[in-house]
Amino acid sequence: MTVTIFSVLTAAIFIFNVILAAALVFLERRDASSTWAWLLVLFFIPILGFFIYLFLGRQLRKKTLFKWEGSKRVGIEHLIATQMNELHDNSFEFQDPNAKNYTDLVYLHLRNNGALLTQDNNLQIFNDGRKKFNSLLQDIENATDHIHIQYYIFRLDELGNRIVDALTLKAKEGVKVRLLYDDMGSRRISKRLFKKLTAAGGEVETFFPSILPIINPRLNYRNHRKIVVIDGDVGYLGGFNVGDEYLGLSRKFGYWRDTHLRITGSALYPLQTRFIRDWNQASARHDIEYDEAYFPVKQETGNTSMQIVSSGPDEEWEQIKDGYLKLINLARDYIYIQTPYFIPDASFYDAIRIAALSGIDVRIMIPNKPDHPFVYWATYSYAGQMLRAGARVFIYDNGFLHTKMIVTDNKASTVGTANIDVRSFKLNFEVNAFIYDEKVSTDLAELFHRDMKLSTELTYMMYLDRTRMIKTKESIARLLAPIL
């Protein structure tokens, strides 16, 4: 009898796995590598594999998550259509001749993402957390109308409380304060911990909050963006989250090397629009309506040309990854990449491999320590493969490298939140600045060269000499790479 029950249960599990596998293959229409990875999980870890898939594997329904009718009043859609038409018939006026060399990339982002090209911006680059947050706190102190602040990770430690205190003070002064954080990235906090801010009139919202007490069934599809817009005049975008570790105070990670931008100019229009759409998706009661104060008339502050590009699983295309690929394909001299996670899909891997084989100076910089072990060993494995193609790989030794940056030819660059991995390309909501400016790109390249002096260059012989244990870790991590 016991044997019969066991046999029936085994057969039921097998049939259940077959049905789920069939649904995965025929209904969800994933790419082949991701499909095979999930099939391995389902068949080699019965039952448990189903729950892993339930929390990590379900695709987001392709629907419009981010609606905001006020965007029509900003006039961005009209400007996008006008720019596309002018680029198509070669009548667009580039203020910077260098930007004209990237007409194809600009057009791609306009058509693929509705990313308006703005040409009157001024950028300040931060690669140190203390300087970045000191600047942010100063801008918060100077705010007079509104503060929109969004982070993937927001910790209520010393830094987080300093920021909340500053926001609370401004809310008491009558400044409209809105704080948005991701529920998984900031899973150690809850909205009730922001009582002093909300009591002062500030508003706090959570992106994709859990419907269960402890576990969030949407472990994927997280809002990884970091955006701040103050008075519609100053904005921030980049890799730093809010927490003491980003000031280099973590014993585990040590110094935290990241890259963040402070932006003034017309790029604040699309950045503000991005925040409002994210906020309205997360908020059920406090939707933001159009207000001229959010989009003040800009006085020319600079001459940097750039586009704010966002991507996410709600979109048909992988917009930021497409921009990465186009930027790589347009490179003629060098390509510098800094990323904490280098787990490229086939298209990115082939693009960077072909560039290296073609004689372009490809340099990739990754951390020397993992914050996620499987991700790190997959990164190390792909880095080893790039060495065979002629790329140079540097292991950053001065703490933890969290920068997401690509710079090419001292002419074009991108900085933002998107890593080089499937999670950033397909699963997370991300935002990057694509910059067409020689000075900014040269400055970013110089930072890369400075970081090289704090790094160990990984040679192919060193990679081949790795231990059997490292090889085993790499093999397991590579097998799971499509779903990491």
Two tokens, residue 185: 């990235």
The amino acid present at 177, given as its one-letter code, is: V
Strand ranges (DSSP E) for 195-303? 203-207, 227-230, 234-238, 256-264
Q: What is the pLDDT of residue 188?
A: 86
Classify residue 251 by burial, with Cβ atoms within 10 Å: 0-12, 13-18, 19+.
exposed
CB 370 within 8 A of CB 377: yes
The amino acid present at 257, given as its one-letter code, is: R
Q: What is the pLDDT of residue 75?
A: 76
Task: State whether residue 361 is helix, strand or coil.
Answer: strand
Tokens 């304060």 label which residue? 177
Residue 345 CA to residue 126 CA, distance in Å, equals 29
Residue 38 CA to residue 482 CA, distance in Å, equals 9
Task: State whether residue 151 is helix, strand or coil.
Answer: strand
Q: What is the pLDDT of residue 7?
A: 73
Alpha helix positions (H), 153-284: 158-172, 195-199, 268-282
CB 124 within 8 A of CB 261: yes
- DSSP letter assigned to residue 331: -
Residue 161 CA to residue 34 CA, distance in Å, equals 40
Write out the DSSP string of 79-93: HHHHHHHHHHTT---
CB 392 within 8 A of CB 363: yes
Block means of pLDDT (10 residues each) for the chain, 484 residues, are: 65 65 55 61 60 55 58 78 94 96 97 95 98 98 98 97 98 98 92 96 92 62 96 98 96 95 97 96 87 89 95 91 98 97 93 97 91 74 91 96 97 98 92 98 98 96 84 70 55
Two tokens, residue 233: 């005049």
- Prediction pTM value: 0.87
Taking alpha carbons only, the member of 225, 195, 193, 192 closest to residue 207 is 225
Task: State whether residue 393 is helix, strand or coil.
Answer: strand
Q: Are strands 400-401 and 405-408 parallel, antiparallel or unpaired?
A: unpaired
272-306 burial, b at 16+ Cβ within 10 Å, e below that, comes to bbbbbbbbbbbbeeeebeeeeebbeebeeebebbb
- DSSP letter assigned to residue 254: B
Two tokens, residue 239: 């890799």
Residue 11 CA to residue 17 CA, distance in Å, equals 10
Residue 86 CA to residue 39 CA, distance in Å, equals 48
Q: What is the pLDDT of residue 469?
A: 81
CA distances (Å), origin 21, targets 13, 33, 44, 295, 432: 12, 14, 12, 49, 35
Q: What is the pLDDT of residue 468?
A: 83
Task: State whether residue 12 is helix, strand or coil.
Answer: helix
Task: State whether residue 369 is helix, strand or coil.
Answer: coil
Handedness of CA 125, 127, 132, 134 (dihedral sign): negative
Active site residues: 224, 226, 231, 402, 404, 409
Task: State whether residue 291 is helix, strand or coil.
Answer: coil
Backbone angles phi, psi at 84, to 5 degrees: -60, -45
CB 458 within 8 A of CB 398: no
Two tokens, residue 79: 């400007």
